[in-house]
Amino acid sequence: MLEAAGVPFTIAVPSIDEDVIKSLLTDGGSDGYRIADELAQAKAVSVSVRMREAFVLGADQVLVCEGRMLNKVLTEAEARETLSALAGREHQLISAAVIARGGAVLWRRTEIATLRMRHLSTEFLDRYLAAEMPDVLGSVGCYRIEGRGVQLFTEVLGDQFCIRGLPLLPVLAALRDLGVLSA
């Protein structure tokens, strides 16, 4: 999304254990909103400590369906299970972004999109997975709404960028406010 928007960037891998952070927050009673925000912050701060002069964007997305948080899957069988669990139900995608510099948080934003997935026939699910594997394994909901995944839904409420994992318009505004992008 940043590349498509013409924003130059370098990818840096944070030195955090997302599973440990998520587990601690979940065990502590945190909701998906806080978990997405804390993970985005941990990523941004971790990298900004190593690259002190850089403006570092950390982002994370959490999917919540009927109070249950779903995780990314590793196999087609798990993708089928996730899609079957979401079929006919409403879920929320919570996308958080944090900008940090020198270990300090400068800006943060979390947005929520609500999606209602239609009931899926076994035949449709077979065709969908055959066409979309392995690309959907990178998505917590096992779909890419910017492509064939849009066929899974009857209703989508929220920003398309949030659904794709980043509240892009607020991020771009923050980068302009911070002087990273020209106004």
**Is the sign of the CA dihedral 155, 31, 141, 42 positive or negative?**
positive
Active-site entry in 37, 60, 135, 177: 60
Residue 60 is among the residues annotated as catalytic for this protein: yes
Spatial separation of the C-alpha atoms in residues 108 and 173, rounded to whole Å: 12
Measured distance CA(39)–CA(32) in Å, rounded: 10
Let me know: does 141 contact 153? Beta carbons within 8 Å. Answer: no
| Contact between 34 and 110 (Cβ < 8 Å) | no
Q: Catalytic residues, which ones?
A: 60
